């Protein structure tokens, strides 16, 4: 199979970047909503020092489920928050807003995306007009412009 330069980078984008977004969309599709509260600010002693994280609680029936937030969103003790959780793992919960739902996805996505962007922009790595042949041996072979 021979691909043009843009098709090749689109394929790399789909293979290396889209799985992160697809996983988060799958998580969101399976999640359910609940109302919770910011309960207190927890502290964890680590090698580099102490880390601070908010601890939230939401109720399902007579059960109280506690989970740690990973970033401080400015909520104070007792503030009501909307929560999304997984029905099969109640502790897999997040605050229902854009940043808490997507920040780790974008953090994991940053490195592969930046590498692809640099390789795409740097014209001497994969020159314009060149084609890339995908095969068994070698897996990738770059063909100069005009060759098929």
Q: Is there a domain that residue 45 lies in?
A: yes
| 108-125 per-position pLDDT tens digit | 888 888 888 888 888 887
Q: Which of 23-27, 50-54, 114-118, 132-136 tops mean pLDDT? A: 23-27
Q: Is there a domain that residue 106 lies in?
A: yes
Length of the chain: 148
Q: Is there a domain that residue 30 lies in?
A: yes
Residue 58 has pLDDT above 80, yes or no: yes
Query: How many structural domains comprise the chain?
Result: 1
pLDDT for 147 equals 52
User: Quick one: pLDDT band at residue 49, thresholds 50, 70, 90?
Assistant: confident
Q: Is there a domain that residue 148 lies in?
A: no
Q: What is the DSSP string of 17-72?
A: THHHHHHHHHHHHH-EEEEEEEEEEEEEEETTEEEEEEEEEEEETTEEEEEE-SS-
Residues of the domain holding 43: 2-143
């Amino acid at each position: 199979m021979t691909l043009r330069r843009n098709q090749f980078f689109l394929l790399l984008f789909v293979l290396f970047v889209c799985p992160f977004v697809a996983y988060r969309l799958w998580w969101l599709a399976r999640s359910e909503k609940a109302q919770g509260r910011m309960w207190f600010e927890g502290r964890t002693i680590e090698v580099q020092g102490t880390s601070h994280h908010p601890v939230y609680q939401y109720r399902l029936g007579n059960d109280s489920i506690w989970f740690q937030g990973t970033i401080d969103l400015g909520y104070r003790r007792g503030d009501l928050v909307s929560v999304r959780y997984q029905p099969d793992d109640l502790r897999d919960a997040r605050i229902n807003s854009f940043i808490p739902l997507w920040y780790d996805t974008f953090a994991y996505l940053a490195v592969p995306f930046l590498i692809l962007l640099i390789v795409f922009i740097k014209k001497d790595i994969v020159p314009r007009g060149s084609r890339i042949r995908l095969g068994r041996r070698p897996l990738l072979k770059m063909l100069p412009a005009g060759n098929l």
